[in-house]
Amino acid sequence: MTPTDWQIVSKLLADITGDKIGTLEACKVGGGDINCAYRLSDGKHRFFAKTNTRERLPMFEAELYGLNEILRSDSIRVPEPIGCGVAGEEAFIVMEYIELSGRANESEFAHKLAAMHRCTHDQFGLTVDNTIGSNPQPNPYENDWVKFWQRNRLGFQLSLAKKNGCGDELFETGMRLNQRIGEFFLSYTPVPSLLHGDLWSGNQGVDSSGEAVIYDPACYYGDHEADLAMMELFGHPGESFFSVYREVFPIDDGYPVRRELYNLYHILNHALLFGGGYEAQARRMIDRLLSQL
Ligand code: ADP
């Protein structure tokens, strides 16, 4: 971003907040996978911004929508979304800056996350499509969760993998599994819960008062087990998390099997984003899931 680009951001901030915003100093923040992240300050106000190429504006619009959805649920702290736009060659999103550190208290986090999951919708999906990492994540509204997962999650990722040159065998066995995933839901009917959608440990923290914060969401209304599974994929929530969570939102006995189904989606996404051993891991997951049917 050039100084002129930051002036455009400053003007948008002034328009939205109604405050006079001075020249912004942008200090790079590490930790993100996808975008350039900055702490912005004019000496009086602080904001958090992320930038990417200008054609990625819809990604930031969808992030803004997701942050608003969680904010409105009044369940768990998220950075207050402010706005997004294009400045020069880049798209940007700006939101409240939160001094983040460490990990939340498990009981508090469990309680608030379960409260967010208790916010429901009459259908699965979301009003907008968003992204998972930098890959597209379609969210057309759907009454049937199994169809939603088949079309917009597992089937969609398998098709992306095929287009991007992953092996035929992965696609074919994956699609064989995809046709049969209804069998994992014979005695369980999920409700459409508000999900963060990308709840790995790098997207949660605490603010300076120790309050739990989640950020960088890939929101949609879906089975709450999908968020729990992602938390377990790259982290280890303890027994205190699960015992408090269950008091607010019971977890069905079939969760341990579906956890692998839900995490397969993220592992396929990681295979596309990062390569490495993720494709082989996805193949092993597909085999294990098929062997349970
Ligand atoms: P990306 O979209 O590239 O994955 P993130 O949204 O994860 O980027 O943000 C990158 C890093 O910036 C995070 O790991 C976190 O440490 C920090 N961060 C995210 N949101 C805020 C915020 N609102 N205020 C302050 N720091 C933030």
Give the residue range(s) of CATH 3.90.1200.10 domains in the chain. 106-291
Query: How far is 204 from 244, CA to CA, in rounded Å?
Result: 18
Helix (H) or strand (E) holding 132: strand 130-132
pLDDT at site 112 = 98
Give the contacts of 200 (CB within 8 A, at least 6 positions apart): 230, 231, 233, 234, 235
Give the residue range(s) of CATH 3.30.200.20 domains in the chain. 3-96
Please check the confidence at residue 287 and state whether its pLDDT lies above 90: yes
pLDDT at site 31 = 77
Ligand 1: which residue has its CA nearest to atom 9?
Answer: 32
Choose the catalytic residue: 198, 216, 223, 227. 198
Please check the confidence at residue 165 and state whether its pLDDT lies above 90: no
Does residue 198 carry a catalytic annotation? yes
Specify the higher pLDDT residue, 124 or 4.
Answer: 124
pLDDT in tens, 69-88: 999 999 999 999 999 999 99
The model's pTM is 0.96
Nearest to 226 by CA among 153, 122, 130, 120: 153
Q: Which residues pair with 95 in a beta bridge?
A: 48, 81
Domain over 3-96 is classified CATH 3.30.200.20: yes
Cα of 24 vs centre of ligand 1, distance in Å, is: 18
Burial class (CB in 10 A: 0-12, 13-18, 19+), 74: exposed
Q: Which residues form the pocket of ligand 1, taking CB atoms under 6 Å from any ligand atom?
A: 29, 31-35, 37, 48, 50, 79, 95-98, 100, 202-203, 215-216
Average of pLDDT values for 140-149?
98
Q: Which residues pair with 74 in a beta bridge?
A: none
Query: How far is 128 from 219, CA to CA, in rounded Å?
Result: 9
pLDDT in tens, 112-125: 999 999 999 999 99
pLDDT at site 32 = 76
Query: For the domain 106-291, what is the CATH code?
Result: 3.90.1200.10
User: Looking at this protein, which amino acid is placed at residue 242?
Assistant: F
